[in-house]
Amino acid sequence: MKRRDVLARLAGGAAAGLAAAGRLAAQTDSLSERRKGGKMPLELEDFVPKSMLHVAEHTVERSKYPVVDVHTHWSFSAKSPDGSGLKFSATPEELLAVMDRRNIRTLINVTGGYDKGFLESHTRYDLAHPGRFITFTEPQWHRANEAGYAKMQADAIEREVGRGAKGLKVLKTLGLYLRNTDGSLVKVDDKRFDLMWEACAAKNIPVFMHVGDPEAFFLPTDRFNERFEELNNHPDWSFHGKDFPSFMDIMEARNRVLARHPKTQFVLLHWGNDAENLGLVAQWMDKFPNIQVEMAARIGELGRAPRNTRKFIDRYQDRCMFGTDAIPKGYNVPQQIFGDDLYKIYYRFLETTDEYFDYAPAPVPPQGRWRIYGLGLPDAILKKIYHANIDRLLR
Ligand SMILES: [Zn+2]
């Protein structure tokens, strides 16, 4: 949205006498006052400052130890009744070329769908290239309101594990999109999924869980939101207002699931979705021995608090994993485009002590206008994060 439209909207809000009118008018006033002061106007999206900082820069072409990227998406579900029609965004050969250049031993495709779709991904990638690809299965959300869903879903997990599934992926669908027949949102701790969580424990596969989203996505998309540009680029990522639960409501519902299923191993994706609040994530780690975390699309958060992150990783070094959320050809999400540039940034973050560098291959930091600092992790921890922790979990 151009600033003209923003101003028109702000002015409209004031005229309508809405509750927020006073605050909005104040915003408008301060903007126009600054313009009157003779200062040159500049659209935020046109502001691309070059850092004048002179510091050492290290390019890490290959990771120091072989990598398992535990969080990628080379396919997306077609939501068909039998799971067929999975859409693939890269061939195995395209993926392998990058993997070989960047020392990536294995990619995990978390969105491998179910039934025929799962079989297709598993056969075409995992079985054709042993050790290089792993496909996870997903719940059949579209059937969640059918009678007998709980047992059907638990049985489906058992069937996919028999066919080679090594894990279950839960998208933020649960808690933010999936609805009951009466139109209300299904809660993350809805009991109809209990059999599914238990089936994962019984079959000894981890649940890779993404519920909620960054804290800022639950706040208004306004000039006080540090992820304004990101939300402005992806308005559908905003979970503010409507009937959405609050960020903490979702986290608490998730925590009740973790407590209720202590034998199930949960990997909380995106660092538990609160990489902004490492103190809180540490409390969860202490409270729930059945959880681990992975860093996909959160090095922007972790890397702007490098000292806290380093302390966290030192303490929980056996329960942190390497993931990127990489999507082949994912051009509308620069922090997740599968390719050489993305991996070099992750390696630089983990292995060097470089200062103030971009967390994504993009001219403007896409998740917020800041830069990050390297962690300079020691070899023993690098090995654990790059592959040993996930190898142990998947045995
Ligand atoms: Zn993802």
pLDDT in tens, the chain (395 residues): 444 444 444 443 334 444 444 545 555 556 666 666 778 999 998 999 999 999 999 999 999 999 999 999 999 987 889 999 999 999 999 999 999 999 999 999 999 999 999 999 999 999 999 999 999 999 999 999 999 999 999 999 999 999 999 999 999 999 999 999 999 999 999 999 999 999 999 999 999 999 999 999 999 999 999 999 999 999 999 999 999 999 999 999 999 999 999 999 999 999 999 999 999 999 999 999 999 999 999 999 999 999 999 999 999 999 999 999 999 999 999 999 999 999 999 999 999 999 999 999 999 999 999 999 999 999 999 999 999 999 999 98
Distance of CA 261 to the CA centre of its chain: 23
- Specify if 46 maps to a domain: no
Query: Both tokens of residue 95?
Result: 């993926």
CA distance 211 to 253: 10
**Pair (27, 170) in one structural domain:** no
28, 7 Cβ separation under 8 angstroms: yes
Question: CA-based angle 333:336:341, to the nearest 5?
Answer: 115
Distance 139 CA to ligand 1 centre (A): 15
Q: What is the largest CA-CA distance in the chain?
A: 70
**Pair (341, 388) in one structural domain:** yes
- Specify if 30 maps to a domain: yes
**Pair (15, 159) in one structural domain:** no
Distance 73 CA to ligand 1 centre (A): 7
Whats the size of the chain, residue-wise?
A: 395
**CATH code, domain with 310:** 3.20.20.140
Question: How many folded domains does the chain comprise?
Answer: 2
Burial of 19 (0-12, 13-18, 19+ CB in 10 A): exposed
Distance 72 CA to ligand 1 centre (A): 6
- Specify if 318 maps to a domain: yes
Distance 353 CA to ligand 1 centre (A): 27
- Sign of the Cα torsion 350, 355, 359, 360 reads negative
Show the DSSP H helices in the chain as ranges.
3-15, 21-36, 92-102, 115-121, 149-162, 173-176, 194-202, 228-233, 247-260, 269-272, 278-287, 299-302, 306-315, 340-351, 379-383, 389-394
- Specify if 202 maps to a domain: yes
Closest CA to 286 of 316, 320, 264, 253: 316
Distance 103 CA to ligand 1 centre (A): 21
Cut 0.85: pTM above it: yes
Distance 61 CA to ligand 1 centre (A): 24
Distance 181 CA to ligand 1 centre (A): 27
**Pair (260, 203) in one structural domain:** yes
**Pair (151, 225) in one structural domain:** yes
Domain that holds residue 94: 67-394
Distance 352 CA to ligand 1 centre (A): 25
Distance 224 CA to ligand 1 centre (A): 27
Distance 273 CA to ligand 1 centre (A): 12
Distance 395 CA to ligand 1 centre (A): 22
Q: Is 208 helix (H, G, I), strand (E, B) or coil?
A: strand
**Pair (36, 73) in one structural domain:** no
